């Protein structure tokens, strides 16, 4: 591996050169000790911070706009993110010389990708699509037939891809082709397993998507800022710039933010109401017991000068603390996993689509782990709401 001006050049046994475009940050040398790469010791850290901050402002602004537009637009955003992630991951094991000998083979990856997309979202959104076209008899009949044969359609699309793969097998290329086939299926599992929970929860209420996603963003920003100014103690070898100071500071910030944001988001019906169709109009619904404030008496050991003796707390806020704890302690391991994965492939970033951050996969590494907890958290909250409702009914 030879490095020139921030780009990595890899010379293979065939003499063929593969280049990966470098990102805006100074790449870390995997062979040196962790302490040499802490942000507090990085000479280019302010330039890197400005680039990263500029990109973050644009991403956060775009995210807020999409959330304001509603459920359907958030789903579209998730689909776009999936396409970028798949593109970056498909390219990891790509070999240009072999691909030249297999014309059209790269299209097979996307055939399986869009087949998986049709299967996952067809199951999740079918009833909402029916609810959208109920008033139009012609569209209702068409949509009904599409849903009726949805599973069969997905099955034959996959079989078509399988047959396509078998017919494309070429002598002396078997190992590469079967490796690509396995790699494609692993990518589909990584991309669609977690995102299926995300999309399902978006339509159950933006709150169940927005709060966990926001906590990951807050944790990432807090870890970067605290580590930037105070980081001294290396956290893990897989991520040389991660520090214990950043990890602890981010954890405290995220848990407090979870409690506050749950109260803020829970006040808006736009966030708490489920969407039963694929329309984009404003929503009105009964917020339910989870989002109904209750009076909480503060403990007596607080000093006398403290201005409040009681406060109003939504029941969902207490469980948001658990979500904040998960985002602080468990979700970062998604980032550590991604760091180890990149080191295995001797790359710094999965891509360069986001200046200062790397690729889309680099931004979604912790979100992947967080997404897997969405459905469990929402189910827990729903059960809690039923318990609260039963309790209130018993007291009355």
Give the span between the Cα atoms of 167 and 175, in whole angstroms: 15
On the question of pLDDT at 40 being above 60, the answer is no
Q: How confident is the model at residue 38 (pLDDT cuts 50, 70, 90)?
A: low
The Cα diameter of the chain in Å comes to 82
According to the model, what pLDDT value does residue 16 have? 47
Which range is least confidently modeled, 46-55, 302-311, 373-382?
373-382
For residue 390, pLDDT over 70 is answered with no
Mean per-residue pLDDT for 333-359?
87
> What is the average pLDDT across 191-208?
86
Instruction: Give the whole-number percent of the chain exceeding pLDDT 90.
Output: 45
Predicted local confidence at residue 219, as pLDDT: 94
For the cut 50, the answer to whether the pLDDT of residue 144 exceeds it is yes
**3-state SS assignment for residue 43:** coil
Burial (CB count <10 Å: 0-12, 13-18, 19+), residue 291: buried
Average pLDDT value for the chain = 83
Task: Identify the weakest region by mean pLDDT among 19-23, 192-196, 212-216, 221-225.
Answer: 19-23
Calculate mean pLDDT across residues 274-278.
Answer: 92
Query: Using the 8-state DSSP alphabet, how is residue 218 labeled?
Result: H
Q: Any idea which of 52-61, 207-216, 300-309 has the lowest mean pLDDT? A: 300-309
323 has a pLDDT exceeding 50: yes
Q: 3-state DSSP call for residue 236?
A: strand
Q: Which of 206, 213, 235 is nearest to 223 (CA)?
A: 235
pLDDT tens-digit profile of 5-26? 444 444 444 444 444 444 444 4
pLDDT of residue 26: 40
**Please, are residues 333 and 369 in contact by the beta-carbon 8 Å criterion?**
yes
What is d(CA 10, CA 301) in angstroms, rounded to the nearest whole number?
64
Residue 373 CB neighbours (<10 A): 19
Percent of the chain whose predicted confidence (pLDDT) is above 70: 82
Identify which of 12-21, 110-119, 382-391 has the greatest average pLDDT: 110-119
Contacts 24+ apart (CB under 8 A), 239-242: 239/335, 239/336, 239/339, 240/28, 240/32, 240/34, 240/36, 240/37, 240/38, 241/28, 241/37, 241/38, 241/39, 241/42, 242/336
Q: Give the tens place of pLDDT for each residue, 158-185.
A: 999 999 999 999 998 999 999 999 999 9
Radius of gyration of the chain (CA): 24
| Predicted local distance difference test score (pLDDT) of residue 383 | 57
pLDDT tens digits, 217-262:
999 999 989 998 898 899 988 888 889 999 999 999 999 999 999 9
Cα gap 227→369, rounded to integer Å: 22
Please state the domain extents for the chain: 54-102+170-394
Predicted TM-score (pTM) of the model is 0.79
Long-range pairs of 8-16 with CB within 8 A, sequence gap ≥ 24? 8/346, 8/347, 8/348, 10/346, 14/97, 16/96, 16/97
pLDDT at residue 319, as a whole number: 86
């Amino acid at each position: 591996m030879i490095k020139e001006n921030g780009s990595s050049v890899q010379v293979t046994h065939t003499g063929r050169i593969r280049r990966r475009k470098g990102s805006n940050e100074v790449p870390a040398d995997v062979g040196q000790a962790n302490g040499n790469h802490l942000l507090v010791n990085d000479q280019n850290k302010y330039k890197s911070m400005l680039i990263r901050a500029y990109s973050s402002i644009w991403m956060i602004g775009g995210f807020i706009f999409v959330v304001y537009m509603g459920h359907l637009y958030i789903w579209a955003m998730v689909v776009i993110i999936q396409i970028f992630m798949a593109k970056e991951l498909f390219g990891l094991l790509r070999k240009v010389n072999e691909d030249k000998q297999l014309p059209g083979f790269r299209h097979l990856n996307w055939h399986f990708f869009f087949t998986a997309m049709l299967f996952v979202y067809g199951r999740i959104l079918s009833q909402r699509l029916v609810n959208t076209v109920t008033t139009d008899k012609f569209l209702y009949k068409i949509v009904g037939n599409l849903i009726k044969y949805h599973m069969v359609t997905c099955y034959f699309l996959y079989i078509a891809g399988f047959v396509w793969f078998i017919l494309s097998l070429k002598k002396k290329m078997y190992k590469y082709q079967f490796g690509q086939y396995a790699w494609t299926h692993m990518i589909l599992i990584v991309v669609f397993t977690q995102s299926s929970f995300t999309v399902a929860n978006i339509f159950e209420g933006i709150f169940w998507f927005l709060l966990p996603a926001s906590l990951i963003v807050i944790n990432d920003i807090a870890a970067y800022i605290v580590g930037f100014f105070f980081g001294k103690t290396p956290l893990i070898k897989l991520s040389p710039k991660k520090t214990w100071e950043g990890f602890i500071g981010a954890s405290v910030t995220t848990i407090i933010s979870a409690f506050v944001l749950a109260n803020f988001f829970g006040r808006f019906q736009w966030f708490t109401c489920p969407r039963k169709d694929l329309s984009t109009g404003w929503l009105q619904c009964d917020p339910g017991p989870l989002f109904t404030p209750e009076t909480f008496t503060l403990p007596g050991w607080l000093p006398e000068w403290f201005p409040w003796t009681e406060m109003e707390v939504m029941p969902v806020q207490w469980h948001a603390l658990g979500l904040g704890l998960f985002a602080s302690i468990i979700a970062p391991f998604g980032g550590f996993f991604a760091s180890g994965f990149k080191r295995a492939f001797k790359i710094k970033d999965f891509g360069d689509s986001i200046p200062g951050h790397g690729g889309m996969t680099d931004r979604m590494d912790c979100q992947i782990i967080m997404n897997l907890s969405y459905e469990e958290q929402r189910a827990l909250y729903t059960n809690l709401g039923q318990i609260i409702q039963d309790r209130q009914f018993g007291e009355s």
